[in-house]
Amino acid sequence: MGNEYDMKKDKGPYPYALNVWKTAVQNRNYRTTIWTGCNLQMTVMSIPPRSDVGSEVHKDNDQYIRVEQGNALVKMKSSKSENCERREYEQTLCAGDAVFVPAGTRHNIINIGRNDLKLSSIYAPPHHKPGTVHRTKKDAENEAYLD
């Protein structure tokens, strides 16, 4: 894949292929939407050392988060539902590792490395407005989400 990703434009909802690792590593924004379709969305993130995504819950979104570069600690706490008991989960992650976050699960990803943590993330259904770019975590905290 020779094409460089243009960080200024969400490529969805049209068919599109890219090198996710390369795109994530090149991303310097806290969050950049890469592709937004009707049923899912991909973003890439860059988290500075000793920082985190922030504890959050997506009521209506399942999420897949993959570490593209760096080391992280993931913390999750599920709420009790009809079929499941409440569970807490904590795991260290390195490049190539991924975590699945069911809707309604409180979670946080913490950068425990010395360099920026590079993540890719898939939300199903989409969570951010198409074309969203958050230069900083503070910018993200001020946004209204789709769910």
The 10s digit of each residue's pLDDT in 99-136 is: 999 999 999 999 999 999 999 999 999 999 999 999 99
Question: What is the rounded CA–CA span in Å between residue 38 and residue 97?
Answer: 26
Nearest to 99 by CA among 67, 55, 54, 124: 67
Which whole number is the average pLDDT over 59-87? 86
Q: State residue 143's pLDDT score.
A: 74
Q: Given pLDDT bands bounded at 50, 70 and 90, which one contains residue 6?
A: low
Which whole number is the average pLDDT over 1-26? 82
CATH superfamily of the 38-141 domain: Jelly Rolls (2.60.120.10)
Question: What is the rounded CA–CA span in Å between residue 120 and residue 96?
Answer: 10
CA distances 3 to 16, 27, 121, 132, 133, Å, are 11, 15, 21, 21, 20
